[in-house]
Structure 1
Amino acid sequence: MQKVKLPKRLDPVKSANKRSDYRGVILASDMPRLLGMVAGVASEIDVDVKFAKDEQGLTYFQGRMACSTSLRCERCNEVFEHPMDVSFCFSPVQGSEEEVEDELPDVYEPVEVDDHGEINLFQCLEDELILSLPIVALHAEEDCKQKRDKMSFGKIEPADERPNPFAVLKELKRD
């Protein structure tokens, strides 16, 4: 199957009614926030998205994304490859009404639609990729150039023992 570029904005309800199924790519250059958080990203991000309605009549879209990113190791400051494979499942909601979000089943993540009932698909998927990044980027210990025995962490000096300012009140209580 040929890889195609996905639409940036779309109406999830109309797509669910048509049971649309998108398989394509998003260019890494279309995700500037992700590019700012990593050392590099493969030029294309593979995406599969399926729009449907569940038994309750709720519109949802689910799928997966896969790409290869380069992260900078926090220990040795070297760049290493980090493959990402992210699954997602969203349900569109109108506005940021907490009542609507509370009624959604836990399997769906709410995504807000604009005044025209559309979503920015690239932005939703970029958010998911950013959330899937590791909190602290580290090599595996055996691959890292900074070995455990060469790391120094320093010594913590003991805190000054200051008298308790409320000790005087304790003396007053005894009387």
Structure 2
Amino acid sequence: MQKVKLPHSVDPSKSAMKRSDYSGVIASKDMERLSEAVVSCDEWVNAEVQFEKDAQGLTVFHGHLDTQVSLICQRCNGEFDYPLHVDFCYSPVQGQGDIDSETLPEAYEPVEVNDHGEVNLLQLFEDELILSLPIVALHAEEDCAMSEDDMQFGEIEPEQERPNPFAVLKELKRDQE
């Protein structure tokens, strides 16, 4: 199957009127911020996007992204592959004043369109992929080169017991009784 490149920007309203469906790829080399956040990324990000009008007449586009990246394990400093699977659902809005919590259902994430009514899909998809990266990249414990014994760095000496400073008050209370 031939890989078809998706457009970097699209007019969601026009695409929703046509009920457009896009299924293709975006070159990961075009996603500079994602490339900087990972060790390496697959050459292509598989993407599927469907544009439509919902029951309320709102323009909506949803779909999913799939790719694989390599990360550095923060436990053992080894490289490991991490699959990224992202589902998204957006509704375009014109400026921040257009966002109304009553008119936009919770299931839709607002995305701002530019002056030409277009959404930058490349930037939007890159943001979604970056947000789906783990906060702390770690292997599964059974796959990690560091064992539990390797993570112990000495023993903590028990603290010396000091006399309770309130013991004197306890003695005074006994004397008064």
Asked if these proteins are the same fold (TM beyond 0.5), I'd say yes
Evaluate the alpha carbon distance shift between residue 147 and residue 14 of structure 1 in structure 2; reply closer, same or farther with a 3 A threshold.
same
Helix, strand or coil for the counterpart of 2:135?
Answer: coil
**Is the CA contact (8 Å cut-off) linking 1:73 and 1:80 kept in structure 2?**
yes
Gaps of 5+ in 2: 160-177
**Is the CA contact (8 Å cut-off) linking 1:93 and 1:101 kept in structure 2?**
no
**Is the CA contact (8 Å cut-off) linking 2:10 and 2:118 kept in structure 1?**
yes
Instruction: Give the aligned CA root-mean-square deviation in angstroms.
Output: 1.9
The structure having more radius of gyration, on CA atoms, is: 2
Cα deviation, 1:50-105, whole Å, max 9, x if unaligned, reads 00000000001000111111011000111100111111101001012274355310
Q: Which residue of 1 aligns with 2:45?
A: 45
TM-score by length of structure 1 reads 0.84
2: CA distance between counterparts of 1:18 and 1:121? 18
Q: Which residue of 1 aligns with 2:8?
A: 8
2: CA distance between counterparts of 1:47 and 1:54? 21
Helix, strand or coil for the counterpart of 1:97?
Answer: helix
Q: Which residue of 2 aligns with 1:117?
A: 117
Evaluate the alpha carbon distance shift between residue 54 and residue 153 of structure 1 in structure 2; reply closer, same or farther with a 3 A threshold.
farther
TM-score by length of structure 2 reads 0.83
1: CA distance between counterparts of 2:102 and 2:34? 29
Q: Which residue of 2 aligns with 1:82?
A: 82
**Is the CA contact (8 Å cut-off) linking 2:93 and 2:99 kept in structure 1?**
no
Please list every run of at least 4 consecutive aligned residues from structure 1 whose deviation after the TM superposition is greater than 2 angstroms. Answer: 97-103, 152-155
Evaluate the alpha carbon distance shift between residue 122 and residue 153 of structure 1 in structure 2; reply closer, same or farther with a 3 A threshold.
farther
Q: Which residue of 1 aligns with 2:29?
A: 29
Structure-to-structure mapping, 1:151-162, within 5 angstroms: 151-152=151-152
1: CA distance between counterparts of 2:24 and 2:12? 17
Q: Percent identity?
A: 57
Q: Which residue of 1 aligns with 2:61?
A: 61
Amino acid at match of 2:124: C
**Is the CA contact (8 Å cut-off) linking 1:101 and 1:110 kept in structure 2?**
no
2: CA distance between counterparts of 1:153 and 1:87? 41
1: CA distance between counterparts of 2:134 and 2:146? 19
